[in-house]
């Protein structure tokens, strides 16, 4: 037997022995939960890092606050909020969903925060019988697929678009509206509704890009249309704030209406003085109208004002927490609980219809005006 042979054979044997020998220890048995115990986990799925995290972190904070308060009030309930970061990327969301779905300790999911990741993961959650309650995925198509798992506590793009059209027609009494979107699922979704709702009142349009900073071309388009008397922007803070700033700097003073993508303290601070008087519509009740102490509590906990979708984050968490309190600790029970849920939430009265959408009758859209850098409730836009 040559040395070479011995060595190679020896190597193989050693490797095999290692594998077999190591196999000695017994795997921990996965204990099954007693059904009656108030115990379980809720997953929070959304962009917690990366470029889009800014839109999700406030609602995460609100959900965390809800869990914290619940734990303090119900020491017997061992419920836990587990955060899963997707960076808003559907490709990162599916592995996360596939991890959550087979883990029986998860009873529900808050999220997906964005429409793309929701679209990618909802078949997985549906197959696992896990209920999702999204706080901020607004694409209208999400509830049109017949998916049983997906619910959302926020209004969708169609609702907001229709409300904005109404606002332009009734309150602003605009005759020539310039519509800008950011080309994202969210922005395009709303602007399509707004454009078709406005019909002949739409005077012009432009689609900007993500992370665009210079809007000279858009501004000359606005100036190119004679007599534009209102501007709509469907997109997020990152582009909305500089856009508004430059529009005002260019001497265009007509009303500027944004949507819940810019319902965000960073919008006002990013646009500075230019933000004064800008209108932001949001399908959410003003904190003081909702009653309770949420706004003050949030500020006390995090030292900042509630931002985009914070009330919705709280509501989504509350839907689950009240389910736990009512003893719904299996996935099927929780799904049934969410389907039958009917309570006043922070953002609106929450009752889901068959598609998982909040009943349209309960969606309240408010117009907020930025006054002194703060989003101040102005008027409710009554739908239909």
Partner 1 sequence: MNFDALFDHIGQHTVDGLAKGAIYALVALGYTLVYGVLRLINFAHSEVFMVGTFAVMWTWIGIGAGNTPSIGIAILLLVLGGLVGAAASGGTAVLVELVAYRHLRRKNAPSLVFLITAIGVSLSLTEIFGIFTGNGERKIQGMPTILNQSIAIDFLGVEITNLQLIVLAAAFLMMIGLDQFINKTRYGRGVRAVAQNPDTAALMGVNKDRVIVLIFALGGLMAGVAAVLWNMRYGFTRFDIGFVIGLKAFTAAVLGGIGNLRGALVGGLLLGVIEVYFATLTASKWEDVFAFIVLVVVLMFRPTGLLGESLGRARA
Partner 2 sequence: MTANENTVTKKKKRSFADRWNGLPGWSRFFWIMGGVIFLFYLPELGNIPGTNLEIPGLGFLRTDVGVGGSDWDSILFRCAVFVLIALGLNVVVGLAGLLDLGYVGFFAIGAYSVALFGSQQSPVVKLLRANFDLAPDWALAWSWCILLAIVLTMFSGVLLGWPTLRLRGDYLAIVTLGFGEIIRIIARNSTITGGPDGITAIPGPEGAPNAQNKYFSILDQKWWYWLALVAVLVVILAVRRLENSRVGRSWLAIREDEDAAAVMGVHGFKFKLWAFAIGAAIGGLSGLLFASQQAFIDPSQFNVNLSILFVAMVVVGGAGNMAGAALGAILLTYLPERLRSLGALEFLPERFQDPAEFRYLLFGLAMVVVMILRPQGLLPSKRRARELKDRAQEVPVNG
- Give the range of 47-55, 146-154, 329-337, 354-362 binding partner 1 by CB under 8 A: 47-55
DSSP-assigned letter for residue 358:
B
d(CA 157, CA 184): 12
CB-nearer residue toward partner 1: 272 or 291:
272
Binding site for partner 2 (CB under 8 A): 4-5, 8-9, 11-12, 15, 19, 22-27, 29, 48-50, 82-85, 88-92, 94-99, 101-102, 115-116, 119-120, 123-124, 126-128, 139, 141, 145, 183-185, 187-189, 207, 209
Q: Which residues of 257-273 are buried (b: 16+ CB within 10 A; e: fewer)?
A: bbbbbbbbbbbbebbee
* Alpha carbons 63 and 58: distance in angstroms, whole number: 9
To partner 2, the closest distance from the beta carbon of 9 in angstroms equals 8
> What Cα–Cα distance (Å) separates residue 96 from each residue in 133, 173, 301, 374?
16, 47, 28, 36
Neighbour-count burial for 213-252, b at 16+ CB within 10 Å, e otherwise: eebeebbebbeeeeebbbbbbbbbbbbbbbbbbbbbeeeb
Sites for partner 1 among residues 276-335 (CB under 8 A): 304
Residue from 250, 252, 254, 295 binding partner 1 (CB under 8 A) = 250
73 vs 91 by CB, closer to partner 2: 91
Question: Is the Cβ–Cβ distance between 96 and 44 less than 8 Å?
Answer: no
What's the min distance (Å) between Cβ of 271 and partner 1? 7
Q: What is the C-alpha separation between 360 and 143, in angstroms, rounded?
A: 13
Nearer to partner 1, 244 or 350 (CB): 244
Choice from 45, 57, 81, 109 touching partner 1 (CB under 8 A): 57
CB of 211 to partner 2, least distance (A): 11
Please give the size of the binding site for partner 1, defined by CB under 8 A.
42
The string of DSSP codes covering 41-97 is EEEEEE--SSTTGGGTHHHHHHHHHHHHHHHHH-TT-EEEEEEEE-TT-HHHHHHHH
Choice from 12, 13, 16, 249 touching partner 1 (CB under 8 A): 249
Nearer to partner 1 among residue 97 and residue 228 (C-beta): 228
- The tokens 């509350």 sit on which residue? 318
Interface residues with partner 1 (CB under 8 A)?
A: 49-54, 57-58, 183, 205-209, 211-218, 220-221, 224, 237-238, 241-242, 245-246, 249-250, 264, 266, 269-274, 304
């Amino acid at each position: 037997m040559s040395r070479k042979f011995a060595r190679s054979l020896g190597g193989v044997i050693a490797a095999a022995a290692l594998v077999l020998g190591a196999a000695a220890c017994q795997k921990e048995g996965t204990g099954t939960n007693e059904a009656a115990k108030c115990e379980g986990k809720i997953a929070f799925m959304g962009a917690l890092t990366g470029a889009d995290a800014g839109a999700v972190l406030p609602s995460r904070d609100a959900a965390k606050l809800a869990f914290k308060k619940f734990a303090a009030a119900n020491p017997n309930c061992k419920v836990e909020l587990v955060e899963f970061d997707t960076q808003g990327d559907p490709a990162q969301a599916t592995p996360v969903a596939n991890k959550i779905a087979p883990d029986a300790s998860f009873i529900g999911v808050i999220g997906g925060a964005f429409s793309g990741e929701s679209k990618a993961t909802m078949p997985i959650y549906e197959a696992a019988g896990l209920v999702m309650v999204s706080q901020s995925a607004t694409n209208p198509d999400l509830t049109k697929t017949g998916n049983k798992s997906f619910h959302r506590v926020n209004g969708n793009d169609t609702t907001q678009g229709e409300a904005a059209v109404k606002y332009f027609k009734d309150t602003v009494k605009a005759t020539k509206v310039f519509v800008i979107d950011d080309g994202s699922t969210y922005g395009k979704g709303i602007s399509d509704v707004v454009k078709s709702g406005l019909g002949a009142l739409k005077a012009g349009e432009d689609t900007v890009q993500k992370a665009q900073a210079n809007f000279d071309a858009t501004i000359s388009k606005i100036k190119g249309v004679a007599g534009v008397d209102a501007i709509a922007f469907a997109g997020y803070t990152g582009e909305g704030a500089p856009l508004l700033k430059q529009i005002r700097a260019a001497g265009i003073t007509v009303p500027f209406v944004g949507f819940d993508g810019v319902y965000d303290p960073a919008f006002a601070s990013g646009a500075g003085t230019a933000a004064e008087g800008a209108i932001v519509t949001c399908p959410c009740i003003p904190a003081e109208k909702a009653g309770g102490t949420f706004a003050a509590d949030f500020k006390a906990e995090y030292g900042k004002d509630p931002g985009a979708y914070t009330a919705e984050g709280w509501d989504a968490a509350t839907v689950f927490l009240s389910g736990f309190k009512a003893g719904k600790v299996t996935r099927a029970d929780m799904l049934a609980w969410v389907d039958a849920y009917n309570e006043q939430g922070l953002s609106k009265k929450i009752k889901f219809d068959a598609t998982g959408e909040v009943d349209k009758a309960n969606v309240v859209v408010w117009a907020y005006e930025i006054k002194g850098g703060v989003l101040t409730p102005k008027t409710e836009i009554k739908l239909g």
